[in-house]
Each structure stands twice: as structure tokens, then as C-alpha cells.
Amino acid sequence: MDGILPLWKERGMTSHDCVFKLRKILHTKKVGHGGTLDPDVDGVLPICVGKGTKVIEFLTDSGKIYEGEITLGFSTTTEDASGEIVESKQLTQPFSQEEIDQAMQQLTGEITQIPPMYSAVKVNGKRLYEYARKGETVERPQRKAQIDSFERLSEPTWNPTEGTQSWHFRVVCGKGTYVRTLSVDTGKLLGVPAHMSDLTRTASGGFSKEQAVTLAEVAEAMADEKLTEVLLPIEHGVKDFLRVDISEEIWKKVKNGMRLPYEAFGFEQMPTEHFAVFYQEKVVCIYQPHEKQEGIVKPLKVLQTELGE
């Protein structure tokens, strides 16, 4: 059983919970996920099964789309609605749409983020959330994040009684982006504390929410012997790669992980990035330019070594 499953993770579950349940449903231990989602967040969670686990890293590298809500007026320990309030500043009047949009626009392109204390980033061998749970603070490393777009989806709602203001947003971003931090930084640009009050991941790993299936639907498909209707082939994981189809002669070399001249794959010039090698309509290997040997490409990952696997 090999393939990729676009799962819809429900709230209240960790990504590992989903993997644990799927191992039982699918009767296989070789299950992994392509991108962690916090328990309070629902949305698309790509799942890799069997040999599909070999392409997890490529799904993780792909862009993601989130829709959520930002609330101004107070910040929390976790930067989302689940944490304790650490700073509060009631708004005496609402910000205009123009002010909000301008702040959000400043957070597009390549930006620098400082990961939340409640995150899985490692510092000195320990994850930040381990320090946070003990009430300890450490210096957090800055990280680069790519924000392709960050836009407001709704009119801002002002609550004069609570002194808060909220609106819905959509962000298209690269891997490693902390949307919670994006929300907090929006507040900082406006001069007030803020947090992410809601979040859903609507796309990840090349999958949209319309393609995603729930755990219950996977269990039903498994029981009805219709798993192939929801489990996509491994080839989906490399669908955005440059594709090269090879002959049997080259296949014999590729399956043994040989380094080869770029001309062996039909290129007229050296490729600048990795590419997917197909034999008999199956992806068998990912190759990349050799960093030291001129004109040579080498395997980045061998996916299959025998036909019929």
C-alpha cells in the first residue's frame, strides 16, 4: 500500500494522532505526515503511506494557504486563542481598513520572524515549548519566511465593550511560516497587542480543502475496498517537478543510484534544479545537479529499484 492521502485534520487532534489512527485503519506502520498542524487548527494535512513516505519532504517544501482571524487588543503566551493573556490594551477607537491593509502589506515578500515560545523549534537541543512549559525563556533564532500574499477577507469588526477589533484573512506562504507570529506582528505594526484567534489550513502539499477526506471517510473507503479512490499515487508528490522519461538502458543505471552525465537524460544543457525520473509511467528517482562534478547529475532520492514495487 503506497500513496499520498489528502487528509482533513479535525480540531482537537494532533498531527501525530492522525498518523496513529491511520496506521490502525490502513493496517500499516509506514505512515507519515507532511506538515504539522496545531491541535486547535483544522485543515489539509498531507499523509504519506508506504513508499509515499519517501516524498514527504517534497510535500513539506510546497506552499500553503491559510484562512483565519486576527484579533487586536490583547496578546497571549501561545500567540493564539488557547494561551493566557500576557498583554492587554483596549482599543478606544477602531483602526481603519486602510491602516490594517497597510500593516498587512508590510508583512509580504521575504520577512524575518522570531518563532513563538510555544513552537517545536529546537534551541540547545530542546524544543522551545519545553522551555515555555517550565516558564523559562531563551533567545530565539530569527527565521526567514516567504509570504506570497497576506490579505484581509472581511470588514474589521470593532467591539467597543471589550476594546477589541477582529477581521478574517488569507495568507499564501512558504514552509516554516508561523501564521500566529504574522498575526502578532500585524498588531505590532499597528502599535497594539494582537493574537491569532482562529485558523484553518485550506491548502498544503498541492492539495486543496475540496480534495481532502476525513478519517471517517478513509475508514469507510478501506472497509468498502475503495481506498484507491482516496489514496493518490506517489507520482502526485512530484507533479510540479520537471519530468524526464527514460529508456530501459538508463533505468538499469538509475536504479543502482549511478551518477550520470546530464545528456543521458536528454538535456541539451545542465539542469539547474532537481527533476523526477520516470520509467514505464512510474516515478523511480529524483535527480539533482552534482555540486562538485561539472556536467554530472546524481540521485537525490531513489524511490523504486524494481518494477512492480
Residues with a catalytic annotation lie at: 38
The residue type found at 205 is: G
Planar angle of CA 51, 54, 58, nearest 5 degrees: 135
Look at phi and psi of residue 189 and say left if phi exceeds 0, alpha if psi is from -120 to 50, else beta: alpha
Residue type, 93: Q
d(CA 238, CA 48): 13
| Strand segments (E) across 18-142 | 31-33, 42-49, 64-72, 74-76, 85-88, 109-113, 122-123, 126-127
What is the DSSP track for 257-304? T--EEGGGGT-SS--SS-EEEEETTEEEEEEEE-SSSTTEEEEEEE--
Residue 240 CA: distances (Å) to CA of 54, 64, 91: 16, 14, 46
DSSP-based helix, strand, coil % in the chain, nearest 5: 25, 35, 40
Residues 6+ apart with CB under 8 A from 138: 123, 124, 128, 131
